Amino acid sequence: MAPSATGRKLVIVESPGKVRSIQGYLGDGYVVEASIGHIRDLPNPRDLPAELKKGPFGKFAVDVDNGFEAYYVVDADKKKKVTELRRLLKDAPELYLATDEDREGEAIAWHLHEVLKPKVPVKRMVFNEITKEAIQRAVTTTRDIDQDLVDAQETRRILDRLYGYEVSPVLWRKVRQGLSAGRVQSVATRMVVERERERMAFRRAAFWDVEGDFAPGGGGQAFTARLTEVAGRRVAQGRDFADDGTLTAKNVAHLDEAAAREIATAVMATDVMVTDVAEKPYTRRPSAPFITSTLQQEASRKLRMSSKNAMRVAQRLYEGGYITYMRTDSTTLSEQALTAARQQARDLYGAEYVPDSPRRYEKKSKNAQEAHEAIRPAGDRFRTPAQVAGQLRGEEFALYELIWKRTVASQMADARGSTATVQLGGELPDGRRVTFAASGTVITFRGFLAAYEEGRDDDERAARAAADEERRLPKLSVGVGLDTLRAEAEGHETKPPARYTEATLVKALEEKGIGRPSTYAATVGTIQDRGYVRTRGSALIPTWLAFAVTRLLEEHFTELVDYDFTADMEESLDQISRGDLGRVQWLQRFYFGDQSRHTEGLSELVEDLGEIDAREISTIPLGDGMVVRVGRYGPYVEEVAPAGVDPVTGEVPEGAQLPETPRRATITDDLAPDELTPEKARELLEVASDDGRELGQDPDSGRAIVAKAGRYGPYVTEVLSPEEAELKGKAKIKPRTASLFKDMDLATIDLDAALQLLSLPRVVGTDAEGVEITAQNGRYGPYLKKGTDSRSLETERQLFSITLDEALAIYAQPKQRGRGAAKPPLKELGEDPVSGKPVVVKDGRFGAYVTDGETNATLRKDDDIETLTPERGFELLAEKRAKGPTTRKRAAKKAPAKKAPAKKAAKAATTTTAKTAATKKAGTKKTASKKTASASGDGS
């Protein structure tokens, strides 16, 4: 329980992680408490009071016909927190709302004000970093709640509710139950799908060139050059080919293997000399300080952090007072930060590494939102990584070091040097002229590179450019003869567009102006959690489900997944946040359309969908008569036309025909969409229709025993006779089936091993009371069974080797339930600052968790035990304590529903207030007759 606020000013922040630091900076005259994020939100319509379900709030918890008024309720797990805040406010002389300085933070402050209804002066306290100077400055320079920012956040929330509740049900009906659509997630999914489509349509093209090693006559420094021209024609490179494999460049020499090898051989006998030397200055400027998106990208490239994990670690650094606010679109640094960065660069690297005047990065990203600084080390004087090494460890230290390096480097001098390009020429024995070229960069002054160099995305062209840097060429002049030390033909293939990684997807979203940097981590996480995207290494691969969903949205909600339209929505939200556009006016146009512009709104789009062929929308053609269908139980490949059918005329090859029942095969998750070619699809069909490898006959039953590959792995089974198969249909006889052990190979298993597997379960013997003990292989591994008492075995081989005495010895031991004997902790985190008790990480029934012996908190999805810091463990426990104990609801018989008295209903509406007209700007109201339907799941 929080201390009394009698006579002390109440400060409410968002996160429990900030409380201790801010309390220390403000002193005893204040009491600091956390709201733990939002305290109320739009409810699911099914949770509305009965008297409201049939009213204007019944469909969305938003009255779309009357100014898009929102009906909010306090979250069930926040009621205790609200009660606590009211108690603290009761005796406080002033209230400071110190939530984050962005739209969400402003909205949280407004909701706190609406729910707490303070009767004392209220001040909006904002800060960009949690340092003593910043907090003390913020408490003396307060402002009012910015209603425009609140409007922008509420508009975004209502927009996502309308989008999700209108579009998601269409996906449920036409693709699969439980799917969701969202303003940003659907567009991000489309981007990943479009990239995969490009890869599927891509056709590789082969091309060759020649690489040689040359050195000035007399044993000078050797260098490598590449063939660029043959007989006056440029040698074709990968950029000269279209994605379909055709050569698009004109008048280029497209070398095949034979031609390249011929040139390589001839060059060895050719006199080569320098024909041109060009040298020019090289200058490279440092990158701007981090904003949210660039931090996520660099953390992914250099630290292998997911976007979500990078933001979580940054949040802890911010709350600990190590960095400034980590949700920002601005590259601007304050005067104090400029001075600190320049002074630190001067102290560490020397005066020549700092330019005469500060570097100012005023340019913001498209649709930049808040007026924060860039992400930088906190304070008026930065702490070096060495100074925080004793306080930060693991990911926190690595991310702080990255931010520190980027900030300091942004105020350092340019890297300088020179780039030299050399051209070599020679005449082949057949009279053709050949030209080779080499280039290299020599850095003469490293400048900012002494502190930091930006990472590169995995790209062949970028890798080649990086290799050219720092490559030194010997001093050469025109006419100098060269010795040819090596000449080799090299073959290449064009490569399909690279799949998105988290870093490149975030970069693409930012470039298109879609979403907000602060939401990118959540967006990337959402499209993975929804089953639209999975990862292979760092690459994002769309699932076939994403193909079906994207196709439906593209064909029937074209504008909603249009990149420009989505970016325009962000611009509109910015206009609302600046007070240049009314929220009601914009929502009216989005939902009901604009007759003056002849544009349809979302409601009309949903009503005028017409007939959607669910089977067709979930079908993805592969070509050559093969398609992928997204079915109820997952994707599968199906043959819809004979092999070789003409894709234009539909002409079927002579003698080709489809079986009466189309062949189908399940597609496993390890096969990416671009890897499923028509040839691969037919291979899957052949495997699926394969009756298996016959191992021999069971000497007892005379049935054939076969080994097959199944959906859930390899197995052996017996083949029933036609007469037995008929009985099987009547459920009177079933073939024996057994999965192969983990150490068995489908290709080498023999009849004896198969019969042994089919003999399971095996009777081990009986106990003293005559109860039979059997050894069986189950879903969770091998085990013994005696009546209803089961005991696990250590290995599958024990199923055949365990004796009765060994089995009885196992049953003589006490049965271990759950996890069995207590296990040692997975990790020790130290003493909790609140309870003072040691905190450890343990392995539980539902996964790893942290505990101090009193409070248990489950680790989140992205929490890695190896890199889990004590601060993160303490944070999880603090959040769990703030939520209070979890209570289980007991099922009870429902009494007949009674109609709530009008007075009681009015009171309920007051405690869960819709946004009142008194605190809103006036907006045009439009009345429209709408059908009411319930939906669950917001878009985002």
What pLDDT, in 10s, does the model give residues 487-544? Answer: 999 999 999 999 999 989 999 999 999 988 778 888 999 999 999 999 998 899 999 9
Report how far residue 498's alpha carbon sits from residue 501's, in angstroms, rounded to the nearest whole number.
9
Q: How far is CA 298 from CA 369, 402, 456, in A?
A: 21, 8, 9
Instruction: Give the pair of three-digit tokens for residue 178.
Output: 């439980």
Side-chain half-sphere CA neighbours of 282 within 13 A: 21
290 burial via Cβ count (<10 Å: 0-12, 13-18, 19+): buried
Question: Is the pLDDT score of 130 beyond 70?
Answer: yes
Structure letter (DSSP) for residue 840: E
Q: Are 541 and 533 in contact (CB under 8 A)?
A: yes
Handedness of CA 632, 634, 635, 637 (dihedral sign): negative
Q: Which of 97-106, 191-200, 215-224, 656-665 has the lowest mean pLDDT?
A: 656-665
pLDDT value of position 889: 45
pLDDT value of position 66: 94
Reported in sequence order, the residue ranges of 220-354 that DSSP labels E, i.e. its strands, are 223-230, 233-235, 252-253, 272-284
Reported as a pLDDT band with limits 50, 70 and 90, residue 923 is very low
pLDDT value of position 453: 85
Structure letter (DSSP) for residue 732: S
Question: Is the pLDDT score of 917 beyond 60?
Answer: no
pLDDT value of position 504: 92
Task: Identify which has the larger pLDDT, 228 or 885.
Answer: 228
Reported as a pLDDT band with limits 50, 70 and 90, residue 904 is very low
Q: Are 374 and 330 in contact (CB under 8 A)?
A: yes
Q: Which of 12-26, 177-191, 733-747, 887-901 has the lowest mean pLDDT?
A: 887-901
Structure letter (DSSP) for residue 720: P
Q: Are 113 and 35 in contact (CB under 8 A)?
A: no
pLDDT value of position 817: 56
Q: How far is CA 865 from CA 105, 130, 710, 859, in A?
A: 31, 28, 35, 9
Question: pLDDT digits over 426-457, tens only?
Answer: 999 999 999 999 999 889 999 999 999 877 65
pLDDT value of position 872: 81
Q: Are 392 and 872 in contact (CB under 8 A)?
A: no
pLDDT value of position 647: 55
Handedness of CA 25, 29, 30, 31 (dihedral sign): positive
Q: Which position has the token pair 């079906």?
A: 548
Report how far residue 204's alpha carbon sits from residue 758's, in angstroms, rounded to the nearest whole number.
48
Give the residue-averaged pLDDT of 370-374: 69
pLDDT value of position 660: 67
DSSP string, 97-158: E---SSHHHHHHHHHHHHHH--SS-EEE---SB-SHHHHHHHHHS-B---HHHHHHHHHHHH
Q: Alpha-carbon Rg of the chain, whole angstroms? A: 34
Annotation says 325 is catalytic: yes
Q: Are 305 and 346 in contact (CB under 8 A)?
A: no
Q: Provide the residue type at 468 as one letter.
A: D
Nearest 5 degrees, angle CA 410-CA 411-CA 417?
80
Question: Is the pLDDT score of 550 beyond 90?
Answer: yes
Q: Are 761 and 767 in contact (CB under 8 A)?
A: no
Reported as a pLDDT band with limits 50, 70 and 90, residue 802 is very high
Q: Are 13 and 88 in contact (CB under 8 A)?
A: no
Greatest C-alpha distance within the chain: 105
Other C-beta atoms closer than 10 Å to the C-beta of 472 total 11
* Omega before residue 699 within 30° of 0, cis: no
Question: pLDDT digits over 266-279, tens only?
Answer: 999 999 999 999 99
Reported as a pLDDT band with limits 50, 70 and 90, residue 829 is confident
Q: Which of 782, 781, 788, 785 is nearest to 766 (CA)?
A: 785
pLDDT value of position 521: 87
Report how far residue 182's alpha carbon sits from residue 731's, in angstroms, rounded to the nearest whole number.
47
Report how far residue 226's alpha carbon sits from residue 847's, in angstroms, rounded to the nearest whole number.
56
Reported as a pLDDT band with limits 50, 70 and 90, residue 921 is very low
pLDDT value of position 922: 37
Q: Which position has the token pair 């204040």?
A: 30
β-pair type (693-697, 539-542): unpaired
- Exposure string (b/e) for 409-436, b if CB count within 10 Å is 16 or more? bbbbbbbebebbebbbbbebeeebebbb
Q: Provide the residue type at 484 as one letter.
A: T
Question: Is the pLDDT score of 761 beyond 50?
Answer: yes
Which residues touch 679 (CB under 8 Å, ≥6 apart)?
none
Q: What are phi and psi of 39, to 5 degrees?
A: -100, -15
Structure letter (DSSP) for residue 594: B
Tabulate helix, strand, coil % of the chain (nearest 5). 35, 20, 40
Question: pLDDT digits over 332-358, tens only?
Answer: 999 999 999 999 999 999 999 999 999
Q: How far is CA 9 from CA 71, 133, 148, in A?
A: 31, 19, 27
Percent of the chain surpassing pLDDT 70: 86
Q: Are 113 and 94 in contact (CB under 8 A)?
A: no
Which residues touch 28 (CB under 8 Å, ≥6 apart)?
8
Structure letter (DSSP) for residue 649: T
Q: Which of 368-377, 486-495, 676-685, 745-754 has the lowest mean pLDDT?
A: 368-377
pLDDT value of position 662: 80
CA 855 distance to own-chain centroid: 30
* Residues found in the chain: 940
Report how far residue 501's alpha carbon sits from residue 455's, in angstroms, rounded to the nearest whole number.
14
pLDDT value of position 666: 86
Q: Which of 101, 103, 237, 79 is nearest to 157 (CA)?
A: 103
pLDDT value of position 867: 73
Task: Kindly report the average pLDDT of the chain as a whole number.
Answer: 86
How far is the first Cα of the chain from the last one, in angstroms, to the nearest whole number? Answer: 35
pLDDT value of position 847: 74
Percent of the chain surpassing pLDDT 90: 59
Report how far residue 22's alpha carbon sits from residue 131's, in angstroms, rounded to the nearest whole number.
8
* Annotated catalytic residue within 325, 349, 400, 532: 325
pLDDT value of position 863: 76
Question: Is the pLDDT score of 901 beyond 50?
Answer: no
Mapped onto helix, strand or coil, the DSSP state of residue 60 is coil
Report how far residue 590's alpha carbon sits from residue 163's, in angstroms, rounded to the nearest whole number.
10
Q: Is 830 left (phi over 0), alpha (psi -120 to 50) or beta?
A: left
| Run of H or E including 596 | none
Reported as a pLDDT band with limits 50, 70 and 90, residue 722 is confident
CA 504 distance to own-chain centroid: 11
pLDDT value of position 648: 55
Other C-beta atoms closer than 10 Å to the C-beta of 232 total 10
Q: Are 448 and 306 in contact (CB under 8 A)?
A: no
C-alpha dihedral, 130 to 136 to 139 to 143, nearest 10° = -80
Give the residue-averaged pLDDT of 377-405: 93
Instruction: Give the pair of three-digit tokens for residue 108.
Output: 């949280």
**Helix boundaries (H) for 320-427:** 335-349, 385-388, 394-409
DSSP string, 416-455: EEEEEEEEEEEE-TTS-EEEEEEEEEEEEE-GGGGT----
Question: Is the pLDDT score of 682 beyond 60?
Answer: yes
Task: Identify which has the larger pLDDT, 96 or 890.
Answer: 96
Q: What are phi and psi of 740, to 5 degrees?
A: -70, 150
Reported as a pLDDT band with limits 50, 70 and 90, residue 4 is low
Give the residue-averaged pLDDT of 570-586: 93
Give the residue-averaged pLDDT of 584-598: 88
Which residues touch 70 (CB under 8 Å, ≥6 apart)?
42, 61, 62, 154, 157, 158, 914, 915
Other C-beta atoms closer than 10 Å to the C-beta of 529 total 13
Which residues touch 591 (CB under 8 Å, ≥6 apart)?
64, 68, 162, 601, 602, 603
Mapped onto helix, strand or coil, the DSSP state of residue 507 is helix
Report how far residue 286's alpha carbon sits from residue 414's, in angstroms, rounded to the nearest whole number.
7
Q: Which of 32-36, 344-348, 769-773, 915-919 has the lowest mean pLDDT?
A: 915-919
pLDDT value of position 864: 75
